[in-house]
């Protein structure tokens, strides 16, 4: 069985300026499989490349678009895109496509099979702060909370059609390039309700691009975040789109704060893991935690993988 557990450079990209040292730190923690995050600078990326050419080391497991960070973007702000594949501004959308293709070309150069794509957002009034406040005040089970969730998603629906069209145009181009490059592009479930895709949109995209190199990337922390805010049950994503699944991001939540090491927060991992196919790439995708917590997270994830393999062997045997 092909079981791969990787760690993302998100964990140390901001605190280790030297790219080669950054990779050495991750390997010293027991990871040879490494995912390149969108937080790398061009300088770090160039310093990283020789580390993956060394004999005995695997190429990056996947790359997160856009990589490296875009001009005019800081590492701290790399999660907030300044250009979007869903933009209604034609020039901005085309620039997002161009930059995405550059990331795909980087993947080819580094012999990386997967590029994780974030599709953008619907330009709607953002009610996330209000939903967070209600959650933190303990209003999660009350009607007022449900009403605000419904109100937010209804506002989104009024604006989403044109953004859907923009995403379709962008993905049409990216899928064409991915097919020629023999790459998989993976669309990721986002944390916020105004981002694309939501739960239903994933299915629409796979219907539209049936047979393409596009796959689904499941972010466990994002799914649980949405569940906490009353948007979608976390397990529904991986259950509905498991046939398209190519990889999973693993991080924990402390209340509504994401990107903590698995096992250090609120997520019941023994309830999550059974819903995830055992033979897909799994990436520990964290910002927080010291070396000891990272090691504990690695051991936890490895233990779940071993249990899954034993269960599979028992079933097939």
Give the confidence band of 112 by pLDDT, cuts at 50, 70, 90. Answer: very high
Summarised one tens digit per residue, pLDDT across range 148-176 is 888 889 999 999 999 999 999 999 999 99
- Mean local confidence (pLDDT), 83-94: 98
Question: Does the pLDDT at position 309 exceed 90?
Answer: no
Question: Does the pLDDT at position 311 exceed 60?
Answer: no
- Mean local confidence (pLDDT), 257-266: 97
- Mean local confidence (pLDDT), 210-230: 95
Question: Does the pLDDT at position 312 exceed 60?
Answer: no
Calculate the average pLDDT of the chain.
92
Q: Alpha carbon 95 to chain centroid distance?
A: 21
Question: What is the percent of the chain where pLDDT is above 90?
Answer: 77
The span from the CA of 60 to the CA of 49, in Å, is 10
pLDDT given for residue 313 in this prediction: 54
Contact between residue 153 and residue 231 where contact means Cβ atoms under 8 Å apart: yes
Query: What is the SS3 string spanning 6-39?
Result: EEEHHHCCCCCCCHHHHHHHHHHCCCCCEEECCC
pLDDT given for residue 276 in this prediction: 82
Give the confidence band of 1 by pLDDT, cuts at 50, 70, 90. Answer: very low
- Mean local confidence (pLDDT), 56-74: 94
Question: Does the pLDDT at position 310 exceed 60?
Answer: no
Question: What is the percent of the chain where pLDDT is above 70?
Answer: 93
**Six-digit token pair at 5?**
């557990």
Question: Does the pLDDT at position 140 exceed 70?
Answer: no
- Mean local confidence (pLDDT), 173-199: 97
Summarised one tens digit per residue, pLDDT across range 12-33 is 999 999 999 999 999 999 999 9
- Residue 149's nearest CA partner among 118, 194, 119 is 194
Domain ranges for the chain: 5-124+163-316
Indicate the CATH number for domain 5-124+163-316. Answer: 3.20.20.150
pLDDT given for residue 115 in this prediction: 98
- Residue 286's nearest CA partner among 6, 67, 80, 41 is 6
């Amino acid at each position: 069985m092909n079981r791969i557990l990787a760690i993302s450079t998100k964990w140390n990209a901001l605190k280790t300026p030297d790219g080669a040292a950054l990779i050495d730190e991750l390997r010293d923690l027991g990871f040879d499989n490494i995912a390149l995050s969108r937080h790398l600078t061009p300088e770090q990326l160039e310093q990283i490349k020789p580390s993956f050419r060394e004999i005995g080391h695997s190429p990056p497991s996947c790359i997160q678009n856009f990589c490296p960070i875009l001009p005019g973007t800081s590492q701290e702000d790399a999660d907030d895109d300044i250009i979007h594949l869903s933009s209604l501004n034609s020039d901005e959308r085309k620039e997002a496509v161009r930059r995405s293709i550059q990331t795909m070309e980087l993947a080819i150069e580094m012999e990386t099979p997967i590029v994780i794509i974030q599709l953008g957002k619907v330009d709607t009034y953002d009610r996330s702060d209000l939903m967070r406040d209600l959650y933190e005040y303990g209003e999660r089970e009350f009607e007022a909370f449900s009403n605000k969730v419904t109100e937010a998603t209804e506002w989104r629906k009024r604006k989403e059609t044109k953004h859907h069209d923009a995403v379709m145009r962008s993905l049409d181009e990216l899928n064409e390039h991915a097919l020629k490059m023999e790459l998989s592009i993976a669309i990721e479930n986002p944390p916020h309700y105004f981002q694309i895709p939501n739960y239903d949109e994933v299915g629409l995209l796979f219907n539209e691009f049936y047979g393409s190199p596009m796959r689904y990337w499941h972010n466990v922390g994002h799914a649980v975040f949405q569940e906490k805010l009353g948007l979608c049950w976390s397990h529904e994503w991986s259950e509905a789109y498991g046939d398209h699944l190519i990889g999973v991001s693993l991080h924990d939540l402390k209340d509504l704060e994401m990107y903590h090491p698995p096992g250090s927060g609120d997520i019941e991992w023994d309830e999550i893991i059974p819903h995830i196919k055992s033979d897909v790439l799994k990436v520990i995708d964290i910002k927080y935690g010291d070396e000891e917590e990272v090691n504990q997270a690695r051991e936890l994830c490895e233990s779940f993988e071993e249990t899954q393999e034993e269960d599979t062997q028992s079933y097939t045997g």
